[in-house]
Amino acid sequence: MRKSVLDIDNLSLEFPVYGGAVSAVNRVSLHVQEGEIVGIVGESGSAKSVTAMTAMRLLPRESFHIRSGRITLLGHDMLALDEQKLAAMRGRDVAMIFQEPLTALNPTKRVGAQMLGVIRLHTRLSEREARLHAIKLLTDMRINDAEEILQRYPFELSGGMRQRILIGLAFACSPKLLIADEPTTALDVTVQKQVLQLLRKKARELNTAILFICHDLAVVSQFCDRLYVMYAGSVVETGPTRAVLSAPQHPYTRALIRALPESARPGQALRSIRGVVPNLTDMPTGCAFQERCDHAFEACSSIPPLFSLDDEKRASACWLCEKEHAA
């Protein structure tokens, strides 16, 4: 049994707004083990980012309200941890990368100064050692002229280069967990492929677990060991990537895969999902997908828990799956 890095148990969270509350996260349980690459896929509003942000306590304090649940990150209770310890953990034990690499870098400082600043904040390396470390990190990211890149300003570099720098930096202190929120969405496909390759190679080397948030099923299918499919704030299905994507159990996952352009022949109409995402301020009781689901029946008006489908961590939050499985 591998050690657990991140455990989110039964997390429910809402954002108070005018005239009520947005139930953004509903009873989400999510686990990441040492060295594992775990994906969260979902469309907008599925709370895939909010869940990860909450795990790192990155949301502004007054903006949300936790209804239930606990988050344990490397043995710490994240909902109770004080700011000082939190700050120490961020960047050292847990690193993060985001979609737009430009906003994560200070435009007025050279790349080198920024990298050295971060490295020396979390380690006891001397200026020279930190510099060598930075060069090693960049070289590992296939940046050939690392010395020269350190002298450059962020805006002088391409998006792909900036993202590789940030990934290199994220690995500076050999973190136990890396949270990557759509890190390749803004990049071109050739660059995306390279970034994913480097990300995975480095994570395997350092035994870093990755929580990979992405809307692109194809990317997730190539990159992740295990995945969680989220819909309207709930986990609807989870399991090993291949198993889930080749034989999806939850009607939502199935519908999502069927809606991909590659699932239809050219000229043939695509199979879209009818209806719209439920209003998060006024969620239906029971399954969040019931109104758009072709298979909905009476049981769907009560909340489906994650039904375990087989021994290998496969589960689906659907009454239909439960019925079929029992039969």
Partner 1 sequence: MSVGGASDTVLKLADISVRFPSGADWLGRATSHVHALNGVNLDVRRGETLGIVGESGCGKSTLAQVLLGLLQPSAGQVTGAAAGDESALQIVFQDPQSSLNSRMRVWRVITEPVFARQRKSTSELRRLAVELAAKVGLREETLDRYPHEFSGGQRQRIAIARALSSDPDVIVLDEPTSALDISVQAQILNLLEALQRDRNLTYIFISHDISVISHMCRRVAVMYLGQIVEIGAASDLLTRPRHPYTQLLLGSVPTLGEEGLGELIEDTELPSNRRLPSGCFFFDRCAFSKPVCRQPQRLIAGVRCCRADELANAGFP
Partner 2 sequence: MTEAPATVKRPRIDLGYFRYQLKRSPLTIVGLTMVAFVLIVVIFAPVFATHEPNAIDLRARLAPPTLDHFFGTDEVGRDIYSRILYGGRQSIAVGFFVVFLAGLTGTILGALSGLIGGRTDTIIMRLMDVVLSVPSLALILALAAALGPSLINAALAIAIVRIPFYVRLVRGQALIVREMAYVKAANTFRAGRLHILRWHILPNTLSPVIVQGTLDLGSTILLASALSFIGLGAQQPTAEWGAMVATGRNYILDQWWYSGFPGFAILFTATGFNLFGDGVRDMLDPRQKAR
Q: Does 65 contact partner 2 by CB under 8 A?
A: no
- Quick one: 191 or 206, whose CB is closer to partner 1? 191
Q: Which CB atom, from 19 or from 261, has the smaller least distance to partner 2?
A: 19
Q: Does 245 bind partner 1 (CB under 8 A)?
A: yes
Stretch that binds partner 2, among 14-22, 23-31, 105-113, 233-241 (CB under 8 A): 14-22
Name which of 67 and 200 has its Cβ closer to partner 1. Answer: 200
Among 2, 3, 10, 17, binds partner 2 (CB under 8 A): 17
In the bound state with partner 2, the residue whose beta carbon lies nearer, of 59 and 299, is 59
Interacting residues with partner 1 between 32 and 61 (CB under 8 A): 43-44
Q: Are 249 and 237 in contact (CB under 8 A)?
A: yes
64-67 long-range contacts, CB within 8 A, separation 24+:
64/13, 64/14, 64/15, 64/24, 65/13, 65/14, 65/15, 65/16, 65/21, 66/11, 66/12, 66/13, 67/12, 67/13, 67/14
Let me know how many helices (H) and strands (E) the chain has, helices first: 11, 12
Is 92:73 a contact under the CB 8 Å cutoff? no
- Name 110's Cβ contacts closer than 8 Å, sequence gap at least 6: 150, 151, 152, 153
Binding residues for partner 2, rule CB under 8 A, total 3
Q: How far is the CB of 59 from partner 2 (least distance, A)?
A: 14
Choices 12-20, 72-80, 107-115, 191-199; region in contact with partner 1 by CB under 8 A: 191-199
Which residues pair with residue 81 across a beta bridge? none
Rule CB under 8 A: is residue 18 a binding residue for partner 2? yes
Q: Residue 51 or 176: which CB sits closer to partner 1?
A: 51
Cα–Cα distance for residue pair 207/184, rounded to 1 Å = 21
**Among residues 107, 190, 298, 327, which is the contact residue for partner 1, using CB under 8 A?**
190
Give Cα separations from 217 to 25, 43, 136, 226 (angstroms): 21, 10, 32, 12
- Strands of the sheet containing 65-73, edge to edge, are 20-33, 4-17, 65-73, 76-77
Residue with tokens 């990159």: 223
Q: For the window 131-150, what string marks contact with partner 1 as x by the rule CB under 8 A?
A: -----------x--------
Give which of partner 1, partner 2, none residue 19 binds (C-beta under 5 to 8 Å, depending on kind).
partner 2
Q: Would you mind telling me the total number of residues written for the chain in this entry?
A: 327
Stretch that binds partner 1, among 8-16, 131-139, 195-203, 308-316 (CB under 8 A): 195-203
Please tell me what DSSP assigns to residue 156. Answer: G
Binding status of residue 223 toward partner 1 by CB under 8 A: yes
Helix axes 127-140, 159-170, angle to 10 degrees: 120
Q: Which stretch binds partner 2 (CB under 8 A): 13-21, 212-220, 252-260, 281-289?
A: 13-21
CA-to-CA dists, residue 192 to 187, 195, 220, 313, angstroms: 6, 5, 12, 29
**Residue with smaller CB distance to partner 2, 16 or 305:** 16
Minimum distance, C-beta of residue 147 to partner 1, in the bound complex (Å): 16
Task: Give the torsion through C-alpha atoms of 160, 166, 169, 174, to 10 deg.
Answer: -90
Tell the smallest beta-carbon distance from residue 152 to partner 1 (Å).
13
Which residues bind to partner 2, rule: CB under 8 A?
Answer: 17-19
Under the rule (CB under 8 A), what is the footprint of partner 1? Answer: 43-44, 142, 158-161, 188-194, 196-198, 200-201, 215-219, 221-223, 242, 245-246, 255-257, 259-262, 264, 266-267, 269-273, 276-277
